[in-house]
Structure formats: C-alpha cells, structure tokens
Amino acid sequence: MTPGPTAAGGARTGSPPVTGRPSDTGSPLDIGRRAAAVPPKTDFPLLDELAKAFEDLAARHPNLVATRRLGRSRDGQPINLHVIGRGQGRLAHLVVGGVHPNEPIGSWTALHLAEQLIQDPAMRQQLDASWGIIPCVDPDGYRLNEGWLKNPADRLHYAEHFFRPAPDDQVEWTFPFHYKRAHFDAMMPETRALKEAIDLMRPDLYVALHNSELGGVYYYLSRAEPELYPALHAIPQALGIPLDEGEPESGHLVALAPAIFAETSLEDAYDWMESLGLDPCPPGSGGASSGQYASRAHGALSLIAELPYWRDARASDTRLTQEAYADLLERTGQRTADLGAVLTQAADEARDLLDWTTPLAHGARAFAQMMGDAAGTARARGRQPEARRPATAAERFGCEETVRMFQLRYGGMMLRALGEGLAGSPDPAALAAVADRLERHCEGWRAAAAADDASEPIPIADLVGVQYGAILAAAALLAGRLAP
Ligand SMILES: [Zn+2]
C-alpha cells in the first residue's frame, strides 16, 4: 500500500480450515472452496475490456445491477459505480479497483466478485449486503500500465512498461489531511469520485484492491478483528501462497497477527517520521488514504489484501545471518540513495528538455526524489537501538529485493518519460543523450536482477482467489456467518 513492499516473510502452518457457519438459509459459505474455484487467467484485462465486462453484466441483469456514473478522470474517462442488490441486505460494502493503477490483480477480483454475487443468490442472501463495485477508479493511470498487462509474467517487460502515479497523483493517498505542518486538500476528480461512492454507500466493509510485487501475502485491517485472522491465514495457505511475515512496509506499522497489520493513521506515520528526525511531509506528499476516510467517516471495516505476482523461497527463510540488521538497513539504504542520485541526475539534465507535467514524467521525477527520502528513512531506522540484532535471511532478501524493485520500476519509468519526451523536445539530441546514459545504468540493473532471479510467477487465479476469499471472509464476519 505504501510505495513498495520491504517485506520478507515465511509460511505459517497450522491454521484452521475456512468455512462459513451453516446458516439458517442454507448451506455453508465454504469460502475455501470458492477461493480455489477462480477460472485460470494468463493476463490482466485492459481498461476497455474490464469496463465492457461490467457493462455487459449490468445489461444482462438490469434488475440486480444499477450503474451510476461517479464522474470522469482528468483525461475524460468515465468512472462507474456498479451496485449489486441495492437495498437487499442489512449491510453495504464497497470494493474498489485501480486505487493504485499499477496493481491489476483487483481487476479480476472485482469482476469475479460481481459475477459470483449475480450468479449465486444464496451467497448474496447469506452475506446480507448490497455491494458497490468500482472496477477502476484511476482509468488514466491504468492505461499507462497496459503495455505489460498482456505479458505479466516477465518481470523485465513489466518494469519496462510500469507506471505508478506520483504520491500526490494517487487516488489512494489524496484524501484531505490536516495535521501539524501537513495540509493536503488537492483532491483529483478521481478521488472526489471515490469519496462520493464512499459517502453514497456508507460502507460497513471497504476494500481497496491493492497488490504488492514479490514475496508473500499480507493484510491491513482498520481495526482488530481476531475472529477474522484464522480465515485470512488459511485462504492463501490452502492455495500454496506463503504469508509474508518479515519486514512490514513501514517501520511504524503494528502487527495484529502474523502478516496482518493495523491500518494505522497517517497521523501515526507523521509522528513516527518526526520521531526519527525526518521530514514527515516532504514536497509532493499526498494526503490521507481512502481506507482512513471510509473508516472514520462511516465506521467501515477497511480491509486490504496485498498479494505478490512472484514468489521466491528466500522470502521465507527465517534463519539468522551474520549481518546486523542495522548494517543491512545502512547498506541497502546507500544503494537506494545511489539509485535516487542516478535518477535525479537524469531528471536534472533533462530539466528543460521535456514536459515534466505529464503524469508519467511527474511520477518519474517524484520517485527519483523519493528514493533519496527512502534511503534516509532506512538509515534512521538503522540507528534505532532495536536494529542492533542479526538480520534474518528473509529480511536480507526483502531489503535487497526492494532495492532491485525500485531500480527496475523507477529506472524503467524515468527511461520511458525521457523516451516519450523526445517527440516534443526542444533539443531531441540532447534528450536522447541523457536517455542513453541512463540506459547504461538500467542495463546493469536488469542484468543484475536477471542473474539473481529465482522467482516464479504465482498463478493469477490463485491470487484473485485469495483477494476474493478475504473479501468473502470479512463480509461473512460482518454478517455473523464466519465460523469461529
Ligand atoms: Zn497499492
């Protein structure tokens, strides 16, 4: 959910099976079976394919699905809310895809959830809710990822076509926020559309569909719900996907259970950064998260299921290494700072050579800057007394893997921004020279990543199954139908 997982992890054993309590209206929900029954997928849907699939569902089931236009993106793309079974249940839930448009597992999850709710009146009745689904709340950003969606298993291809919006352009992190020195209220049309949907649905369960990149599964919850934890552990385990029990995404996060973190407030994050002596609101910061808004404004239980595309056995190796955790943070922090310096230099050299206001160029430059900030955070954590202990192999892998991910993603984004700037550049030859110099760095990063790559892609249907199963489990909990 925060920029990139630093998590390593390990598989958990001994979790109980997942079933729904037999209800007075029929058979058990059998969430484990449902999670394992997602049809095979080899790619992710393009924006138009996703929109058409939802339009077709709405057209075929006009009495069950109501579609509402929430607004349009900055580029004029429609943003729709599809409500299934309006007024039919005691509860209301909202599920939102594309909050980070580089995270498309939720596209399939949103569609699969909609199809199952429509096809299965008994399940709908048992969950006792109406369901709002926004297939993609950032259509512009999603389009900028379409270059890799049909070939998602190849990590280098993915990095070459990857786009993540700058923090102040992310729908997820642009809800109003005012705390101490931080003041953010620059809501984008997409964020206003999402806020309208949240206020309209007043959700009991709010699910922003995120995913990570490599490692294992982990979750965020806006409040402690111990009855839910066994199900959240058992669903990925049954599908052979490890839990991620290593490094959290940020040092201030509190674990409610293994691989389940409290979705702490942005105020907490601010205070934590301040306590480390770091700037809690550097230029370009965004605002509060959609989950924080939904839980505070309407008392929603906010659930996030973070899922990787690739697994690597090293992410589960909890043996101790010879390296101190503090040294690991310092070493990988330095490599992150080096990356930031290379990317910032390219941006500085091309300062007057392209339009930096496009989402791609703005994002590329923001992440160049953020690499420097991330290095500072890692080093500040390394100076904390609790960092004076041996690192585990999983932590070492997780920290090194995060550097690799940043090199591939943000090197790729900067190269793409430079390349796309060529057409309108006042000095294309000078811009091409900047791109050539950066390309030599990127070649080195790609070669190093390929040489050390022991990852394997996880079947997409299994990832969708985990996210779908987690949503059903949370909805069953709120309906009083989750087995203890
Ligand atoms: Zn995310």
Measured distance CA(366)–CA(349) in Å, rounded: 15
Residues 463, 449, single domain; the answer is no
User: Does 410 fall in a domain?
Assistant: yes
Name the one residue in this structure whose structure tokens are 């985990």: 466
Does 469 have pLDDT greater than 90?
Answer: yes
Amino acid identity, residue 130?
S
Kind plus residue range of the DSSP H or E element containing 310: strand 310-311
Residues 351, 291, single domain; the answer is no
Backbone angles phi, psi at 256, to 5 degrees: -85, -30
How many domains does the chain divide into? 2
Distance (Å) from CA 209 to ligand 1 centroid = 8
| pLDDT of the residue at 301 | 98
| pLDDT of the residue at 325 | 95
Q: Which residues surround ligand 1, an ion (CB under 5 A)?
A: 1, 100, 103, 210
pTM comes to 0.93
Distance (Å) from CA 260 to ligand 1 centroid = 16
Residues 273, 399, single domain; the answer is no
Does 27 have pLDDT greater than 70?
Answer: no
Distance (Å) from CA 103 to ligand 1 centroid = 6
Distance (Å) from CA 448 to ligand 1 centroid = 26
Residues 261, 389, single domain; the answer is no
Distance (Å) from CA 422 to ligand 1 centroid = 30
Distance (Å) from CA 361 to ligand 1 centroid = 20
DSSP string, 125-141: HHHTEEEEEES-S-HHH
Distance (Å) from CA 277 to ligand 1 centroid = 26
User: Does 22 fall in a domain?
Assistant: no
Distance (Å) from CA 315 to ligand 1 centroid = 20
Cα–chain center distance at 454: 23
Does 11 have pLDDT greater than 70?
Answer: no
Cα–Cα distance list, 282 to 174, 184, 249, 366 (Å):
15, 12, 19, 11
| CB atoms closer than 10 angstroms to residue 388 | 12
Backbone angles phi, psi at 322, to 5 degrees: -80, -15
| pLDDT of the residue at 16 | 40
- How many helices (H) and strands (E) in the chain? 16, 15
Residues 189, 223, single domain; the answer is yes
Does 208 have pLDDT greater than 90?
Answer: yes
> Which one has a higher pLDDT value, 289 or 251?
289
The answer to whether 18 touches 234, Cβ cutoff 8 Å, is yes
Residues 206, 134, single domain; the answer is yes
What mean pLDDT is predicted for residues 23-40? 80
User: Does 467 fall in a domain?
Assistant: yes
Kind plus residue range of the DSSP H or E element containing 186: none
Listed residue (413, 405, 439) closest to 163, CA to CA: 413
What mean pLDDT is predicted for residues 12-18? 40
Quote the tokens at residue 347.
């941006």
| pLDDT of the residue at 24 | 43
pLDDT, tens only, 140-155: 999 999 999 999 999 9
Structure confidence at residue 21 as a pLDDT band (50, 70, 90): low
User: Does 8 fall in a domain?
Assistant: no
- Please, which residues bridge with residue 175 across strands? 288
Distance (Å) from CA 212 to ligand 1 centroid = 7
User: Does 405 fall in a domain?
Assistant: yes
Dihedral over Cα of 315, 317, 320, 322: its sign: negative
Distance (Å) from CA 211 to ligand 1 centroid = 6
Residues 296, 328, single domain; the answer is no
Distance (Å) from CA 295 to ligand 1 centroid = 18
What is the CATH classification number for the domain harbouring 349? 1.20.120
The answer to whether 114 touches 57, Cβ cutoff 8 Å, is yes
User: Does 73 fall in a domain?
Assistant: yes
Measured distance CA(404)–CA(156) in Å, rounded: 11
Residues 449, 462, single domain; the answer is no
Alpha helices in 150-289 (DSSP H): 155-160, 189-201, 229-238, 266-275
> Which one has a higher pLDDT value, 14 or 342?
342
Amino acid identity, residue 280?
P
Return the biggest CA–CA distance within the chain: 72
Residues 221, 117, single domain; the answer is yes
Distance (Å) from CA 3 to ligand 1 centroid = 7
Residues 261, 375, single domain; the answer is no
| Cα dihedral 430/365/3/263 (nearest 10) | -170
Distance (Å) from CA 100 to ligand 1 centroid = 5
What is the CATH classification number for the domain harbouring 227? 3.40.630.10
Distance (Å) from CA 227 to ligand 1 centroid = 25
User: Does 301 fall in a domain?
Assistant: yes
Measured distance CA(472)–CA(205) in Å, rounded: 10
Measured distance CA(84)–CA(249) in Å, rounded: 34
User: Does 373 fall in a domain?
Assistant: yes
Distance (Å) from CA 389 to ligand 1 centroid = 30
Domain containing 116: what range?
31-312+458-478
| pLDDT of the residue at 55 | 98
Distance (Å) from CA 1 to ligand 1 centroid = 4
Backbone angles phi, psi at 427, to 5 degrees: -145, 80
Measured distance CA(422)–CA(418) in Å, rounded: 7
Residues 258, 365, single domain; the answer is no
Dihedral over Cα of 361, 307, 336, 407: its sign: negative
Residues 64, 149, single domain; the answer is yes
Distance (Å) from CA 101 to ligand 1 centroid = 8
